[in-house]
């Protein structure tokens, strides 16, 4: 009977919550197709790659289409990973097909063949071993000597620039041979020549982590420069000794090459990177190497949380407080939080490390959910930097820099040190202003007449760019309102600070590191290599506050801190405190004393006084008390329903309907209200904030209302989204 014909339930990468039914390919036993297996199917006029989620029979009166192809012999998403992704779909109230697609690298998501993940190395051939003693001294012999031990190609890429061309002569003479590398065994050339000794604090933390039996969450709370990475490496070494895999999450692409180099210098197993700076094939290779157990250590950014770990033994989340672990569009997951979910499901320990832990993690540690490990002192002989507040009221400023700061920069350079000037605003200037009539350049696609959105001046004053929607246009030659030629950039971004410092210190290297100057792969490492250990100045945004080790940095100047002191976002104080402590921590990392100058027009602001007088934990204790009194996270659970359209009415009407549907759900509802940024990229935006002190009650309400909202006719006439545990309320 037609009604009993077997079908496959398939989750597709489309914004629909239900699976779709397809007949298996002719001659294929449906039972042989596993849950979690990729599958190519027709969908309208398109061909999509989906994931099998189950088996069933065709409904009466419905004739499903047939599967086009099964690309793989076995499932890519299985066991713990598939179950964890199902949980994530339910927690975020997001379509399972889109969640599963998010977990796959782009190449695999498109249905492309699985990549070859074989690792190769080079060694002397028998002929090479025979010839080596009689070879004349020189580069060929030095290179041949290197291959007395097997050298894998990844290590050669890192440690021997130009090795491929240098090897050609040895290869043509038959003196070296290429071999496949196994996944097991220590590589002698990667064992540290000098054993690393941990101090007492590090040793206590490392022993506590090693003693974990099954799942345990550790908050490694250590001041900047306290040696948290050494504790990670100790835990990873123990994990590898047990034959297990380790996943290490880092917050930024720029941090990954540094972490990889350090890990490869210490661990004798394959290490794979996974981040958006790689091309699609490279990402697919790393993902599959993890799935096949070939990658024993995976170091990656946010999306690496989705790698399969068949031999899981440890998960590490470095800089766990960092905002880049949150995905702000599409599937809005929090990688740190999902890593904890996976660690629990896998039954392995997870280490969350930070010098400025998120208030959520601190609260979890204080309440006993996490094991709280403290590193209170810098490693080695390094001393904490001396922090000075510079009152810039009534002081002349040049690109935001006071004379006090400029004098300190000169003194640091003359003493042979390096300087970091931190300004969390890229570009040349934040505003272009007409000096005659007051006109200023605003984005025509963002903001509203009563709340305009300024365009930032870039490229040395020749281009305007909106940092919200990306819209660009040339700087006008004259004022559009009064035709005056008196257009002046106001304020200072990193480009302008760089320009001024190059003028003031013409014989000193001045390097700018922000998203504008560091878009290419390994750009930050290139900048650091260019500067080396010579005296120089780094000008940068928060990219430079991300855990980079700069041993010759003796002075940090923080410009424009006042911009973060006043904000309606309840997390703004936490973010600013974390940023200040992190950037200050770059100074004095080795045996050189460090100094931090914080310029401000508000030297008596409570946040600055608390941070400088009592440190991050004094601030955090007070902020946690304020959050509890105000019923904000971590003492409440939030969801943000956003809607946007070309006109103002549809978003407000849609959200009002959502509010009515949620009427008796027993949760707090704020709105609907225009978003703090009411217009972006030509769309009018509104939002509804949902809150409850019980996570279960909030999700019960969302379970009911989300299908109702998806069924509304008006839901298809605008853009809308749900953000569970939003990082910001705009």
Flag whether 193 is in a domain. no
On the CB side of 597, how many CA atoms lie within 13 Å of its CA? 22
Q: What is the C-alpha to C-alpha distance for residues 264 and 119, in angstroms, rounded to an integer?
A: 15
pLDDT for res 524: 62
Candidates 426, 405, 363; CA nearest to 621 is 363
Q: What is the C-alpha to C-alpha distance for residues 296 and 312, in angstroms, rounded to an integer?
A: 9
pLDDT for res 257: 62
Rounded to an integer, the average pLDDT of 474-499 is 80
Determine how many CB atoms are found less than 10 A away from the CB of residue 641.
26
Contact present, 403 and 395 (Cβ < 8 Å):
yes
CATH number of the CATH domain containing 50: 3.40.1440.60
Give the phi and the psi of residue 23 in degrees, each rounded to 5. Answer: -75, 145
Tell me which DSSP letter residue 322 carries.
-
Per-residue pLDDT band for 186 (boundaries 50, 70, 90) equals very low
Q: Of 626, 660, 694, at which residue does a domain stop?
A: 626
State how far the alpha carbon of 629 is from the alpha carbons of 363, 566, 570, 633, 669, in Å: 14, 20, 13, 11, 18
Flag whether 188 is in a domain. no
Query: Collapsing DSSP states into helix, strand and coil, what is residue 315?
Result: strand
Q: What is the C-alpha to C-alpha distance for residues 210 and 235, in angstroms, rounded to an integer?
A: 6
Rounded to an integer, the average pLDDT of 412-441 is 78
Rounded to an integer, the average pLDDT of 133-137 is 79
Residue 499 belongs to domain spanning: 386-430+490-626
Token code pair at residue 449: 């007449």
DSSP 412-465: HHHTT-EEEEE-S--SSBSEEEETTT--B-EEEEEEETTEEEEPEEEGGGTEEE
Q: Left, alpha or beta for 403 (phi > 0: left; psi -120 to 50: alpha)?
A: alpha
pLDDT for res 239: 94
Q: For residue 630, with 0-12 CB atoms within 10 Å meaning exposed, 13-18 middle and 19 or more buried, which class applies? A: exposed
Q: What is the C-alpha to C-alpha distance for residues 453 and 676, in angstroms, rounded to an integer?
A: 12
Percent of the chain with pLDDT over 90: 38
Q: What is the C-alpha to C-alpha distance for residues 544 and 517, in angstroms, rounded to an integer?
A: 12
CATH number of the CATH domain containing 335: 3.40.50.300
Mode of pairing for the β-strands spanning 297-300 and 120-124:
unpaired
Q: What is the C-alpha to C-alpha distance for residues 115 and 223, in angstroms, rounded to an integer?
A: 42
Token code pair at residue 298: 């995976």
Least confident segment among 61-65, 144-148, 251-255, 679-683:
251-255
Q: For residue 71, with 0-12 CB atoms within 10 Å meaning exposed, 13-18 middle and 19 or more buried, which class applies? A: middle
Flag whether 442 is in a domain. no
Say if residue 307 is in the same domain as residue 401: no
Higher pLDDT, 678 or 159: 678
Q: What is the C-alpha to C-alpha distance for residues 293 and 308, in angstroms, rounded to an integer?
A: 9
Sheet holding 46-57, edge to edge: 20-22, 6-11, 46-57, 38-43
Determine how many CB atoms are found less than 10 A away from the CB of residue 729.
16
Say if residue 45 is in the same domain as residue 128: no
Contact present, 132 and 125 (Cβ < 8 Å):
no
pLDDT for res 655: 94
Candidates 528, 578, 680; CA nearest to 223 is 578
Sheet holding 668-680, edge to edge: 668-680, 683-692, 637-645, 719-724
Question: Residue 430: is its pLDDT beyond 80?
Answer: no
Q: What is the C-alpha to C-alpha distance for residues 593 and 383, in angstroms, rounded to an integer?
A: 6
Mode of pairing for the β-strands spanning 46-57 and 297-300:
unpaired
Containing H/E element for 364?
helix 359-366
Give the bridge partners for 537, in sequence order: 419, 510
Determine how many CB atoms are found less than 10 A away from the CB of residue 162.
8
Say if residue 172 is in the same domain as residue 245: no
Per-residue pLDDT band for 185 (boundaries 50, 70, 90) equals very low
Say if residue 426 is in the same domain as residue 361: no
Q: Give the tens place of pLDDT for each residue, 703-720.
A: 999 999 998 888 888 999
Candidates 337, 315, 349; CA nearest to 87 is 337
Contact present, 75 and 37 (Cβ < 8 Å):
yes
Question: Residue 730: is its pLDDT beyond 70?
Answer: no
Say if residue 154 is in the same domain as residue 205: no
Containing H/E element for 220?
strand 216-222
Say if residue 19 is in the same domain as residue 69: yes
Q: Of 152, 180, 208, at which residue does a domain stop?
A: 180
Flag whether 529 is in a domain. yes
Flag whether 191 is in a domain. no
Helices (DSSP H) in 73-218: which residue ranges? 79-92, 96-103, 106-109, 126-131, 139-146, 153-159, 163-172, 200-210
Flag whether 185 is in a domain. no
Contact present, 124 and 176 (Cβ < 8 Å):
yes
Say if residue 98 is in the same domain as residue 126: no
Q: What is the C-alpha to C-alpha distance for residues 30 and 55, in angstroms, rounded to an integer?
A: 8
Flag whether 692 is in a domain. yes
Say if residue 495 is in the same domain as residue 408: yes
Q: Which residue has the tokens 């407000």?
A: 652
Determine how many CB atoms are found less than 10 A away from the CB of residue 570.
16
Give the phi and the psi of residue 385 in degrees, each rounded to 5. Answer: -70, 155
pLDDT for res 492: 67
Give the bridge partners for 509, in sequence order: none
Contact present, 304 and 259 (Cβ < 8 Å):
no
Percent of the chain with pLDDT over 70: 88
Per-residue pLDDT band for 445 (boundaries 50, 70, 90) equals confident
Query: Collapsing DSSP states into helix, strand and coil, what is residue 335?
Result: helix
Q: Give the tens place of pLDDT for each residue, 498-521.
A: 888 998 999 888 888 766 545 455
Determine how many CB atoms are found less than 10 A away from the CB of residue 90.
14
Q: Of 88, 110, 132, at which residue does a domain stop?
A: 110
Say if residue 622 is in the same domain as residue 641: no
Q: What is the C-alpha to C-alpha distance for residues 222 and 199, in angstroms, rounded to an integer?
A: 13
Domain count of the fold of the chain: 5
Least confident segment among 38-42, 318-322, 379-383, 604-608:
379-383
SS (HEC) of 574-624: HHHHHHHHHHHCCCCCCCCCCEEEEEECCCCCHHHHHHHHHHHHHHHHHHH
Flag whether 481 is in a domain. no
Query: Collapsing DSSP states into helix, strand and coil, what is residue 677?
Result: strand
Determine how many CB atoms are found less than 10 A away from the CB of residue 45.
5
Token code pair at residue 252: 């930024």
Per-residue pLDDT band for 246 (boundaries 50, 70, 90) equals very high
Peptide bond into 634 cis (omega under 30): yes
Least confident segment among 370-379, 445-454, 466-475, 610-619:
445-454
Q: What is the C-alpha to C-alpha distance for residues 686 and 679, in angstroms, rounded to an integer?
A: 9
Q: At what angle do helices 228-241 and 256-264 cross, to 10 degrees?
A: 50
Mode of pairing for the β-strands spanning 349-354 and 312-317:
parallel
Per-residue pLDDT band for 202 (boundaries 50, 70, 90) equals very high
Contact present, 464 and 456 (Cβ < 8 Å):
yes
Say if residue 397 is in the same domain as residue 275: no
Q: For residue 706, with 0-12 CB atoms within 10 Å meaning exposed, 13-18 middle and 19 or more buried, which class applies? A: middle
Give the phi and the psi of residue 544 in degrees, each rounded to 5. Answer: -90, 0
Candidates 245, 93, 65; CA nearest to 640 is 93
pTM of the full predicted structure? 0.85
The end-to-end CA distance of the chain, in Å, is 55
Say if residue 600 is in the same domain as residue 676: no
Say if residue 235 is in the same domain as residue 369: yes
Q: Which residue has the tokens 């000075």?
A: 388
């Amino acid at each position: 009977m037609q009604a009993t014909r077997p079908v496959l339930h398939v989750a597709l990468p489309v914004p629909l919550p239900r699976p779709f039914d397809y007949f298996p390919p002719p001659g294929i036993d449906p039972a042989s197709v596993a849950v979690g297996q990729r599958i190519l199917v027709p969908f309208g006029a398109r061909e999509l790659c989906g994931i099998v989620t189950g088996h069933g029979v065709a409904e009466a009166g419905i004739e499903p289409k047939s599967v086009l192809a099964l690309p793989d012999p076995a499932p890519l998403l299985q066991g713990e990973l598939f179950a964890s992704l199902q949980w994530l779909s339910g927690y975020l109230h997001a379509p399972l097909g889109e969640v599963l697609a998010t977990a796959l690298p782009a190449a695999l998501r498109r249905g492309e063949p699985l990549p070859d993940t074989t690792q190769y190395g080079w060694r002397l051939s028998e002929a090479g071993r025979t010839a080596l003693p009689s070879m004349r001294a020189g580069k060929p012999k030095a290179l041949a000597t290197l291959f007395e031990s097997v050298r894998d190609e990844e290590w050669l890429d890192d440690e021997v620039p130009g090795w491929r061309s240098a090897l050609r002569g040895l290869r043509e003479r038959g003196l070296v041979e290429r071999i496949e590398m196994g996944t097991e065994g220590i590589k002698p050339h990667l064992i540290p020549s000098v054993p690393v000794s941990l101090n007492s604090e590090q040793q206590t933390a490392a022993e506590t982590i090693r003693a974990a039996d099954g799942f345990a969450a550790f908050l490694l709370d250590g001041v900047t420069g306290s040696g948290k990475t050494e504790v990670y490496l100790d835990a990873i070494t123990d994990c590898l000794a047990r034959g297990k895999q380790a996943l290490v999450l880092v917050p930024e692409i720029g941090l990954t090459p540094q972490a990889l180099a350090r890990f490869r210098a210490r661990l004798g197993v394959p290490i794979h990177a996974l981040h958006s700076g790689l091309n699609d094939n490279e990402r697919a290779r790393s993902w599959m190497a993890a799935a096949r157990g070939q990658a024993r250590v995976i170091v990656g950014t946010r999306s690496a949380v989705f790698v399969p770990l068949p031999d899981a033994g440890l998960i590490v989340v470095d800089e766990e407080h960092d905002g880049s672990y949150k995905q702000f569009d599409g599937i809005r997951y929090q990688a740190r939080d999902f890593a904890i979910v996976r660690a629990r499901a896998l039954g392995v320990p997870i280490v969350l490390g930070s010098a400025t832990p998120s208030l959520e993690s601190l609260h979890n540690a204080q309440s006993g959910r996490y094991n709280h490990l403290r590193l209170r002192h810098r490693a080695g002989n390094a001393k904490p930097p001396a922090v000075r507040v510079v009152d810039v009221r009534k002081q002349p400023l040049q690109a935001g820099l006071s004379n006090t700061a400029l004098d300190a920069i000169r003194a640091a350079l003359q003493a042979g040190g390096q300087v970091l000037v931190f300004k969390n605003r890229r570009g040349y200037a934040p505003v272009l202003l007409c000096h005659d009539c007051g006109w200023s350049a605003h984005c025509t696609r963002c903001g509203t007449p009563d709340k305009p959105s300024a365009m930032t001046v870039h490229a040395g004053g020749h281009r305007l760019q909106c940092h919200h929607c990306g819209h660009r246009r040339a700087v006008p030659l004259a004022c559009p309102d009064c035709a005056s030629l008196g257009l002046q950039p106001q304020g200072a971004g990193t480009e302008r600070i760089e320009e001024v410092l190059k003028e003031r210190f013409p014989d000193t290297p001045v390097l700018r590191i922000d998203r504008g100057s560091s878009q290419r792969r390994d750009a930050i490492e290139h900048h650091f290599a260019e500067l080396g250990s010579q005296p120089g100045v780094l000008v940068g945004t928060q990219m430079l506050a991300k855990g980079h080790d700069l041993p010759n940095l003796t002075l940090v100047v923080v410009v424009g801190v006042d911009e973060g002191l006043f904000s309606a976002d309840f997390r703004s104080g936490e973010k600013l405190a974390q940023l200040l402590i992190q950037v200050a921590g770059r100074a004095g990392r080795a045996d050189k004393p460090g100094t931090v100058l914080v310029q401000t027009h508000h030297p008596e602001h409570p946040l600055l006084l608390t941070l400088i007088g009592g440190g991050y934990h004094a601030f955090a204790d007070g902020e946690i008390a304020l959050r509890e009194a105000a019923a904000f996270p971590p003492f409440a659970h939030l969801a943000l329903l956003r809607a946007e359209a070309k006109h103002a009415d549809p978003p407000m009407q849609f959200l009002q309907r959502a509010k009515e549907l949620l009427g008796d759900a027993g949760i707090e509802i704020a709105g609907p209200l225009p978003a703090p940024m009411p217009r972006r990229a030509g769309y009018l935006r509104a939002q509804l904030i949902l809150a409850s002190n019980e996570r279960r009650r909030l999700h019960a309400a969302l379970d009911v209302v989300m299908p109702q909202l998806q069924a509304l006719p008006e839901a298809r006439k605008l853009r809308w989204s749900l953000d569970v545990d939003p990082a910001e309320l705009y």
